[in-house]
Amino acid sequence: MVKRNTCVFISGKGSNLKNLIAHSRDNNFPIRISLIICNNKKAFGVVYAKKYKIPYVLINTKLKNYENKILLNLKKYKISFICLAGFMKIISNNLIKNYRGKIINIHPSLLPKFKGLNTFSRMLKKREKKAGCTVHYVNEKLDSGSVIVQKNFEIDNKDDENLLKNKTQKLEYRAFPEAIIKIFRNS
Ligand code: GRF
């Protein structure tokens, strides 16, 4: 199988990145993590780049030309697929144009419900019955591209924000690889 050179964008803990790295070691998994882009120099997730010797680039989104730095590196590492895994910055239209249909994101809610930030506190306030995660394509509108995989669970009375987050992340570790396999299944 020809593995697609993939870049994972992160900003924080990087547990989804770690999970994708583990899956990518399987010969039958359709992607290779060739590059990691991070916009937070304190992000814990960077340890996985070091541990697994994956090239990584820190970008400062306050600088005007940060976008160019991203595009140049994507070119340098011949990236053909992008996974956003907890990247806390909105991707520019220019990047989306360059990688149309090739950028996916994981979001901690059952989209189209609860787009944006603070999903768990909003769910609890609204007394939602179900929570979950969504892997979707990225387009110009926030958390609005078509859904690839969605997984849900019933919210328990005892669930607080932390418990919801833990339960959601467990599902994310299944949903993200499943979505990637689904995308490349017939190609
Ligand atoms: C995930 O829960 C994802 O849904 C959201 O950001 C979080 C990233 O977590 N977009 P991690 O950095 O992969 O641990």
- Averaged over successive runs of 10 residues, the pLDDT of the chain (187 residues) comes to 96 98 97 98 97 97 93 98 96 94 98 98 98 98 97 98 98 98 91
Q: Residue 165: helix, strand or coil by DSSP?
A: helix
- What is the pLDDT, as a whole number, of residue 186? 75
Is-catalytic flag, 107? yes
Q: Which atom of ligand 1 is nearest to the CA of 108?
A: 4
Vertex 119: Cα angle to 115 and 123 (nearest 5): 110
Is any atom of ligand 1 closer than 6 Å to the C-beta of 85?
yes
Question: For 46-160, where are the alpha helices, taking DSSP H only?
Answer: 46-51, 66-76, 93-98, 119-125
Q: Which atom of ligand 1 is nearest to the CA of 15?
A: 14
Cα distance between residue 163 and residue 156, in whole Å: 10
178: Cα within 13 Å, side-chain hemisphere: 15
Residue 182 identity (one-letter amino acid) = K
Is any atom of ligand 1 closer than 6 Å to the C-beta of 132?
no
30: Cα within 13 Å, side-chain hemisphere: 16
Vertex 31: Cα angle to 138 and 55 (nearest 5): 90
Q: Residue 63: helix, strand or coil by DSSP?
A: coil
- What is the pLDDT, as a whole number, of residue 1? 81
18, 23, 107, 136: the active-site residue: 107
- What is the pLDDT, as a whole number, of residue 145? 97
- What is the pLDDT, as a whole number, of residue 168? 98
Question: For the chain, where are the alpha helices, taking DSSP H only?
Answer: 15-24, 46-51, 66-76, 93-98, 119-125, 161-184
Is any atom of ligand 1 closer than 6 Å to the C-beta of 30?
no
Q: Whose CA is nearest to atom 9 of ligand 1?
A: 86
Q: Whole-prediction pTM value? A: 0.97
- What is the pLDDT, as a whole number, of residue 187? 77
